[in-house]
Amino acid sequence: MDNPFRFGEPVTGDFFIGRDNEVSEIVASAKAQKSLVISGARHIGKSSLLAETARRNARGFLFVRVNSSAIADENQFLDSFTREIIRSGIGKAWRIEPALWNLLSTKRMRSALATDKDMAIPTETGGSIPEHTPIDKGGAKASGPQQESEPSIRMCPRCGKPLKWVEAYKRYFCYSCKKYAPIRKRGLGKRSRAWALSETPDSCPRCSFPLTYVHRYSDYYCPKCGRYPRMEKSIASEPWSKEDVIAALDLPQRLSELKDKPVVMMLDEIQEMEETVEGRLLEAMRLRFEEHEDVSFVFAGSAKEPMRRMFEDSEGAFYKFARKLDLGRMPDPQLQRLLISRFRSGDGRLPEEAARRIVGLSEGVPMYVQLIGHELFHISRNPEISDVESAIERVVRQQSQVYSLLWESIRSPLQKRYLSALAREPAVPHGEAFVKRYGLRSRSHVQRTESQLEARGIIDNGEILDPMLVLWLRTSSPL
């Protein structure tokens, strides 16, 4: 039987428990087209709350979740932002329909989808093949403007965007410049032939299958791979221009209009953007988002200081943009019921005493309840207290590498001593006796150390936020 516990990813349905008030608050804000900022410690359940809210209310809203935790720069965020919006509009067909594809008004926006192997870019409309031109090995098209001896696509010499062939006039036209392109002579010089070959690929770089030019999407398509290889090449080389950025940030409103449904944009781990993207992007997001009429926003983040700078500082990009919702630790009875019910669903039985022990050590953090429960179920479906201790030891060992890296990243010996002291005496007042007992110099040094560790999101109000880190410090860190 499968293990009845889940961790390491957002949980929904039977794996999700509690937070009904928070779900209701998100939905109420969405109905009122107001925005929320959800702040809470790591592993407290922010991502699961967003996922469960979307699951319960999928009929009334289109939910788009963008995870910023792995975002390294502005381009990556805009790529992810664009992909997730289009993904949310696909529905059960899991195929990008032409109306949805047409929302991507620039080449850079379209290229953001090229690396997503789960999404199928369409080559059909209404069951028929769109207007297209096969390419022969010489790079010339099989039908069309033969008198110009042109490749099947040309780039505008003024703006660099793809030209459209107008059959009635046997000319290429640029819809960006609103002008016809000059007619090229039949004889191609050496330089012109090189241009034609570079701009007009004759075969797929992956499988060498002949490419087809699709006029509707202004790009070459490989019928064998089912992909547009030129897009994949451009995504690695082309930055997002100002025009592209504005068009991408307006996608939520355009998606709402297309689907005739309100959109809820969920920007998870938003604090990562405060350090990884330039301030002008955050400012542009604020300006564009304020113009959206049928879109609400939910920002979720864990790092206290970056979140404060973004949403509470008068200089922050999203100052007074969203109402704050603090996500605290879950009540013990709810987590105990979760443990007992999950064991029961796996044909097991967990004593109440064991459930209390797990919840007490997890300190209201749902992820660690799921993680310890997962390990305990592997040990026994009808565990005893001794089995609970073994499961907890396993969890601490699993997290040991992460904690070791964190410990090594702390350069200050005083900060290390302070953390070790907190792990051993978490509820002791930080008076003179505490300072002398652990060699912390003075109370002013302790206060400064607290501020530095709070800024890193390790402690809050004199308590270590991660309960498993507390257990690791008690056994692994020297005083």
Provide the residue ranges of all domains of the chain, joining segments of one domain with +: 19-121+239-326, 132-227, 332-398, 410-476
C-beta separation of 301 from 270 below 8 A: yes
Rounded distance, CA 86 to CA 89, Å?
5
- The alpha-helical segments, DSSP class H, found in 220-272 are 229-237, 242-249, 251-259
Q: pTM surpassing 0.85? A: no
**Could you tell me which of 43, 80, 22 has the C-alpha nearest to residue 369?**
43
Give phi and psi for 166, each to the nearest 5.
-105, 105
Q: Is the dihedral of CA 214, 178, 234, 80 positive or negative?
A: negative
Q: So what CATH class is 332-398?
A: mainly alpha
**Look-up of token digits 């039985």:** 349
Q: For the chain, how many residues are written? A: 479
Sequence-distant (6+) residues with CB within 8 A of 179 are 158, 173
Rounded distance, CA 271 to CA 69, Å?
8
**Could you tell me which of 226, 220, 231 has the C-alpha nearest to residue 134?**
220
Q: Is the dihedral of CA 195, 197, 199, 205 positive or negative?
A: negative
Rounded distance, CA 467 to CA 44, Å?
11
Q: Is the dihedral of CA 423, 426, 431, 437 positive or negative?
A: negative
Rounded distance, CA 122 to CA 117, Å?
13
Q: Angle, nearest 10°, between helix axes 366-379 and 352-362?
A: 140
Helix and strand counts by DSSP (H, E) for the chain = 21, 13
**Could you tell me which of 86, 95, 76 has the C-alpha nearest to residue 226?**
95
pLDDT tens, per residue, the chain with 479 residues: 688 998 888 989 988 888 999 999 999 999 999 999 999 888 899 999 999 999 999 999 999 999 988 787 888 899 999 999 988 888 655 566 778 878 888 878 887 876 565 555 555 433 333 333 343 333 333 333 334 444 445 667 666 667 777 777 777 787 777 777 776 544 444 433 333 334 455 677 777 778 777 665 566 777 777 766 666 555 555 788 899 999 999 999 999 999 999 999 999 999 888 877 877 899 999 999 999 999 999 999 987 888 889 999 998 999 999 999 999 889 999 999 999 999 999 999 999 999 999 999 998 899 999 999 999 999 999 999 999 999 999 999 998 989 998 999 998 999 999 999 999 988 888 888 999 998 999 989 999 999 999 888 898 888 898 999 999 999 876 65
User: Which tokens belong to 352?
Assistant: 């109440």
CATH of domain 19-121+239-326: 3.40.50.300
